[in-house]
A and B are shown apart, each in its own frame.
Chain A
Amino acid sequence: NAGVMQNPRHLVRRRGQEARLRCSPMKGHSHVYWYRQLPEEGLKFMVYLQKENIIDESGMPKERFSAEFPKEGPSILRIQQVVRGDSAAYFCASSPPGSRYLYEQYFGPGTRLTVT
């Protein structure tokens, strides 16, 4: 059973470009979470999605950031017009259907975004 997969693992973008980060949850998992880790800091929650629905985006910056989890395919975190402050590691996590409060979250290896 493959774990959570994220690609690309490393992404370099120039200021003003768009970044697309992909996350394939573990097989059978229906909850997807995105977290961001700035250099030398802890992880911060960004958004929580189920298939075709954004459940909680309270941690997402108001502008330039969006996320989706379509019926088919991976979850996508999209950052438009990237700035240097967006440079960070972005982690995706998934958990099984059912009680999302109790099940552990399984994390992917992360995408390290560098904005030049």
Chain B
Amino acid sequence: DAKTTQPNSMESNEEEPVHLPCNHSTISGTDYIHWYRQLPSQGPEYVIHGLTSNVNNRMASLAIAEDRKSSTLILHRATLRDAAVYYCILRANYGGSQGNLIFGKGTKLSVKP
């Protein structure tokens, strides 16, 4: 699975939008972009995933660059509950991969009231 690069940490104010970037310049055509987050003392939680088109769900939006070498997770209005470590993960979609997630260090998001 290709490697991703994220900032170590970011800060946001409550009720403001947050843009969490992820670079994946070596992404292959079969890689899906997944985002998970881990709240303190909890297991990771799926946030969103996409391939080429931008995606929206109740938690967040995922904006994918046209060349797919980068993506941005968008939280439209940060709340204190969104303080977590956010992981950007590439998952290959082919038989050679067993589908396990490869976690990097992620971005630690702090939300200020």
Chain B interface size range: 20 to 34
Contacting pair A107 B100 (CB below 8 A): no
Asked if B101 and A105 sit within 8 Å, CB to CB, the answer is: yes
Cβ-defined partner of B106 (8 Å) among A42, A91, A100: A42
Would you call A45 and B44 a contact (CB within 8 A)? Answer: no
The B-contacting residues of A in range 38-62, CB under 8 angstroms, are 42-45, 48, 55-56, 59
Assess whether A31 is in contact with B104, with CB atoms less than 8 Å apart.
Answer: no
A48 lies within 8 A of B46 (CB): no
A104 touches B100 (CB 8 A): no
Whether the Cβ atoms of A44 and B103 lie closer than 8 Å is: yes
Contact of B43 among A55, A91, A101 (CB under 8 A): A91
Residues of B within 8 A of A (CB): 32, 34, 38, 42-46, 49, 87, 91-94, 97-106
